[in-house]
């Protein structure tokens, strides 16, 4: 009997300690703040990943991908920090205007290359300051504009444009990344100029496709500047494709 009473006393003592600890924990638990944010330009899931590193032991962050809403609950100080961070993240991406010129350099000073049939005359390039510099650097005597293109790309997006017409079947793949600097806007550009080939087997009429990367580079471009992106030699070096690019950041 005394043993049963002792067990009951220990049991109630443990219950009392548990309730005391729970009450103490509730007393220590800080006041929490809860906010809902409807995101305009970024995905809720991406913001969720960023905010998790700021979350305290009392906090909770949830995201609704369908409605693109992020919910944050934490101490007022932390929630305010999260809201400020969301304002910095959820901004309209900048647009980048890119102008492309595809130039053919040639050692041939007499005959205009067959690739230029119906293309722009070489006379329009003689006064181009970049072409004047290329004459000294590359040594080609004649320069012809094969193609031009103008496109508008959003920051951190991907775009592809065809150049050269059916004669060359070139595809230029671009991916710009805006970089904010105190001295001026710049963007980092990942670029691939690819020549596309389609072969046909006469026996089975089987189409085979292949691609050759003529120019592949990553470069930093200052907004408003025009620059030579790369040079790809053809015909053993007697000719070369030259890609010239200029870009402007539009906020």
Phi first, then psi, for residue 104 (nearest 5°) are -110, 120
E strand or H helix that includes residue 135: helix 129-138
> For residue 200, what pLDDT is reported?
55
**DSSP SS3 for 31:** coil
The CATH class that applies to domain 30-92 reads alpha beta
At residue 21, the pLDDT reads: 47
The confidence score (pLDDT) of residue 242 equals 93
Residue 164's Cβ-count burial label (10 Å; 0-12, 13-18, 19+) is buried
Parse the chain into domains and list their residue ranges: 30-92, 95-250
Q: pLDDT tens digits, the chain, 251 residues: what are they?
A: 544 554 545 444 445 555 454 454 555 677 889 999 999 999 999 999 999 989 998 899 999 999 999 999 999 999 999 999 999 999 888 999 999 999 988 887 655 556 665 555 555 677 888 988 888 888 888 888 888 999 999 998 999 999 987 677 899 999 999 987 777 889 999 999 998 776 555 555 555 667 889 999 999 999 999 999 999 988 777 889 999 999 999 88
């Amino acid at each position: 009997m005394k043993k049963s009473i002792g067990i009951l006393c220990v049991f109630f003592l443990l219950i009392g300690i548990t309730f005391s600890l729970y009450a103490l924990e509730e007393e220590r638990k800080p006041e929490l703040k809860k906010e809902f944010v409807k995101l305009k330009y970024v995905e809720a899931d991406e913001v969720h990943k960023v905010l998790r590193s700021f979350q305290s032991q009392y906090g909770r962050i949830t995201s609704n991908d369908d409605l693109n809403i992020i919910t944050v609950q934490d101490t007022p100080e932390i929630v305010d920090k999260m809201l400020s961070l969301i304002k910095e993240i959820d901004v309209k991406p900048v647009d980048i205007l890119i102008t492309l010129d595809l130039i053919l350099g040639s050692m041939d000073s007499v005959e205009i290359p067959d690739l230029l049939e119906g293309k722009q005359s070489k006379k329009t390039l003689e006064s181009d300051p970049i072409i004047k510099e290329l004459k000294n650097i590359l040594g080609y005597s004649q320069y012809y504009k094969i193609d031009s293109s103008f496109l508008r790309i959003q920051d951190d997006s991907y775009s592809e444009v065809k150049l050269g017409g059916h004669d060359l079947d070139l595809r230029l793949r671009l991916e710009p990344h805006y970089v904010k600097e105190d001295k001026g806007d710049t963007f980092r550009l990942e670029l691939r100029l690819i020549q596309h080939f389609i072969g046909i087997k006469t026996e089975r009429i089987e189409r085979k496709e292949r691609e050759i990367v003529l120019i592949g580079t990553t470069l930093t471009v200052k907004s408003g500047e025009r620059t030579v992106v790369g040079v790809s030699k053809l015909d053993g070096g007697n000719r070369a494709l030259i890609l010239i690019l200029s870009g402007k950041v539009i906020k």
